[in-house]
Structure formats: C-alpha cells, structure tokens
Amino acid sequence: MKKRLLVFFMVLVIGMSLLAGCSEASRDEGETAAESNESTESVESEAKDPYSDEVKIAFVAHDLSTAVTQAWLEGIRNECKSFDNITIQEFNGDSSAENQVQIISEVINQDYDAIIVQCSDGGALADSVAQAEKNGIPVITLNLDADTTHSALVQMADYDAGRLIADEIAAEIGETGSVVIIQGIAGVSRTDNLEQGFRDTIANYPEIEIIASQAADFEKEKATTVMNSFLTQFSQIDGVFAINDAMAEGASLAVQQVNRLDEMVIWGADGEAAALEMIEAGTLTGTIYTNCWDQGAAAAQVALLMIGSEYNYSVLSKTPNIILEPVIVTKDTVGQIDQKDRW
C-alpha cells in the first residue's frame, strides 16, 4: 500500500519536473529570471507630485524590534510628517525573508508609491524588488542590499567601517595580541562585509591574531553567553569586535562579570544610544556611530524624489549607493555626539 502511495507522489514529481522543463539547464547568470525582468519593457508610472497627491510609502523591516530599524522608521516619519498627504506604513519581516517576499507582493498589490526595505536576504528579495520596480514602485534598500538593480541603497559604511574599527583596535592594543569576533546572523550581507573589512585590515597587522569567532545572532543575551565561553576558553583576550552594539553590550556584561574589563577593548558598531551611554560609563571602548535618523530621512527623501521623477530604475546600470559617513566614537569623542542625535 505504501508503494502505491509512492507512485502517486512520483506522478506528482514528474508533473512538476515537466513544469520545470527537463532540459539540461545552463547555470550561467546570463539568462536568469531576475535580470530578464529588467530587460523587459517596464511599466511607465506617470509621475505623481509627492508633495500634494495621495502618497503611500511602505517600510519593510528585517526585524522591527531593533533599535536601528526603529530609528530609521522615526527618521522616515519625521522626514514626511510635515506633508499630511504622505502616509507611512511599517511592516515587520520578523527576520524572515519569506515574510518580506510576501509582504512586498502584498504592497505591490495595494499599489503603494514607494518601498523602503531592509532586505533580510539580498538574493531572496531580488525578484520581489525587481517586480516592484517593474510595477513602477521605486524601491530603496536600507543597509541590506537586494541583488538586483533598484532605485537606491542607503547604507551605513560596512566594509570601510570594518577597516576603521580594525585600525582603532590595532592602535589601542599596540598592534599585537589576540582578538575575538562576535558575529551576527550568518548570510546578512552588510555585516558580512563589515566583518570582511575587519578581517582584511587585521591581516595587515601580523602581530594581531583573530583567535575565535562565534555567531550571537545580533542578540545581547546570546552575546553574553558566547563571550562567557570565550573568556573561559582563552586566558588572554585583548580585543573584542562585535558586529553590532547590542552584542557589544552583551559582551561587555560578560566581561564585567569576571572583572576583566581592563584587560581588553570592546568594540561595537551602529552607535545606538545605550552603547554611547556605556562608552561614557567606560564599559564599552568604542563603536562606529551612524545617525540612523538621518539615514531613514535620506531614504525617505530618495523615495519622494523617485516618486516625483518620471524616470525609473530601468535607466540605471547599477544601484546608486548612498553611504552615510561613519563616525568613530570613543570615550574622548563620545561627548561630541549631541544628545538629540542619539537614537
């Protein structure tokens, strides 16, 4: 009886494989769907006046509950709040690419005028983003890019930021010693670049060795555990680089536990308020500050610009990239960051 069932399934499978086309498929990116989308004639959206007509902008977050995304959202809202014809709607991807894909197709359905998205996964969202653009909806990605040409990418410095931090740490530990990395969720392009930048630069310092790296999924709590195990694994740690501030804070907590704060430097990235506070308190060495409000605002501006203009992504050869200037923050410089700029 089981066998017969299997037969059923096989029939199904064959059916699908027919859909798939049984030909030997060439795998070169030449004629891939996403790009062929672009080459096709795209729908001309007759330009609206973003400052008078009814305008809907969707903000699709990777995970709405992080400080950064919240700051972006606020930035976007503030940018638009003076125009009451503009409505901003936030969607939560719950850190899942599938959700974002669904949401975006949803948003296209409701013909929004622009999408600001933080792609959980560049590859996964490539098609959706392309679809949106095809339907004349400009897409602006924040930090996390999509693997297809679209209206704009507004991001914090990633690779370069990594370089900067590497140099800072190197300087602080006297260009010699052992460093650990606390990674975010693997497969997120921006943080991967950040890490890459860091690794590449550290490579220039022969005396400095990256002795371990562990993922803590961007979470403060996990970072604490990971750091704990590092602390027990290695008697000597000179530098800690956490891919984001939340994890840096977690690491710092762990280090405080065993009172080894003076042994090592702990660096984060992003520059959220809590981190800055800790830097002032001396429990965190430094971070890369980016004003996420400005970043959000920038994204919104680009969105409005695209809505207003009659040309669209199809004229672009590659995604225009707007990079916000990274600010190194340490105990000495933290004062310069005005309270009102802390998100």
Partner 1 sequence: MKQSTVRKLISFGLLMVLVIGFSISSNYFLSSSNIFAIFRDASIVGIIGVGLTYVILTAGIDLSTGSMMALVGMVMANIYQYTLLPIWVMLLIGIAAGMTAGLFNGFIVTRLYLPEFIATLSTMGIYRALTYIIAIKKNGLITSQPMKTAAFVRLSGEIKGIYYVIIIFIIMVVIGQAILKYTRFGTNLYAVGSNIKAARLSGINTGRTRMTAYVIVGFCVAVATVFQTARMQCTTVLLGDGMEFNVIAAVVVGGCALDGGRGDVIGTLIGALFMAALNNGIYKFQINASYQLIIKGAIIIGIVVFDSWYNKKMEQASASRRIKEAVNEQ
Partner 2 sequence: MKRIKFERYSKVLLLLLFIAVLTILKPKSFPTVGNISNVLWSISVIGILVSGTVFPLLLGGIDLSIGSLMGLSACITVISIQKLNYANQSVFLGIGCAVIAGLVVGGFHGVVVTVFKVPPFLVTFATQSIVLGITQVLTNNKIISCLSPKLFTSIGLGRIGPFTFPIYLMLGIVLISYFVLNKTVFGRYVYAVGGNIEAARISGIDHQFVTVVSYMISGLTAAIGGVVLASMTQQGMASTGSGYETDVITAAVVGGVSLAGGEGKIQDAVIGAILVGLLNNGMNLVGVPSTNQGLIKGLVIIGAVALDVANKNDNKIRLFKAGKGVKKDV
Structure tokens at 157: 């410095």
Question: In what side-by-side order are the strands of the sheet with 239-242?
Answer: 208-215, 177-183, 239-242, 265-267, 286-289, 327-330
Q: What residues contact residue 41 under an 8 Å CB cut-off, 6+ apart?
A: none
What's the min distance (Å) between Cβ of 53 and partner 1?
A: 18
Which of the choices partner 1, partner 2, none does residue 34 contact, using the CB cut-off of 5 to 8 A by kind?
partner 1
By CB under 8 A, residue 339 contacts partner 2: no
Site string for partner 2, 83-102 (x = CB under 8 A): ---------x----------
By CB under 8 A, residue 113 contacts partner 2: no
- Give me the DSSP letters along 103-148: HHHHHHHTT-SEEEE--S-HHHHHHHHHHHHHTT--EEEESS--SS
Q: Could you count the other beta carbons within 10 Å of the beta carbon of residue 226?
A: 25
Which of the choices partner 1, partner 2, none does residue 249 contact, using the CB cut-off of 5 to 8 A by kind?
partner 2
By CB under 8 A, residue 70 contacts partner 2: yes
Q: Return the number of the residue (78 or 233) whose C-beta is nearest partner 2.
A: 233
Residue recorded with tokens 């740690």: 237
Q: Return the number of the residue (116 or 334) whose C-beta is nearest partner 1.
A: 116
Using a 10 angstrom Cβ sphere, with 0-12 exposed, 13-18 middle and 19 or more buried, the burial of residue 63 is: middle
Q: Could you count the other beta carbons within 10 Å of the beta carbon of residue 319?
A: 20
| Torsions phi, psi for 294 (to 5 deg) | -60, -40
Q: How many residues at the interface with partner 1, by CB under 8 A?
A: 63
C-alpha separations of 180 from 16, 229, 240, 282, 322 in Å:
47, 11, 5, 20, 30
What's the min distance (Å) between Cβ of 258 and partner 2?
A: 6
By CB under 8 A, residue 243 contacts partner 1: no
For β-strands 86-92 and 55-61, DSSP reports them as parallel
CA–CA distance, 167 with 202 (Å, rounded to integer): 7
By CB under 8 A, residue 91 contacts partner 1: yes
Which residue in 228, 301, 314, 330 binds partner 2 (CB under 8 A)?
228
Which residue in 17, 36, 40, 65 binds partner 2 (CB under 8 A)?
65
Considering only residues 163-192, where is the footprint of partner 2 by CB under 8 A?
A: 186
Instruction: Summarize as ranges the residues that interact with partner 2 (CB under 8 A).
Output: 64-67, 70, 92, 186, 212, 214-216, 220-222, 224-226, 228-229, 231-233, 246, 249-250, 253, 256-258, 273-274, 277-278, 281
Instruction: Summarize as ranges the residues that interact with partner 1 (CB under 8 A).
Output: 1-2, 4-5, 8-9, 12-13, 15-27, 29, 31-36, 64, 89-92, 94-98, 101-103, 105-107, 109-110, 120-128, 147, 185-187, 189, 192, 195-196
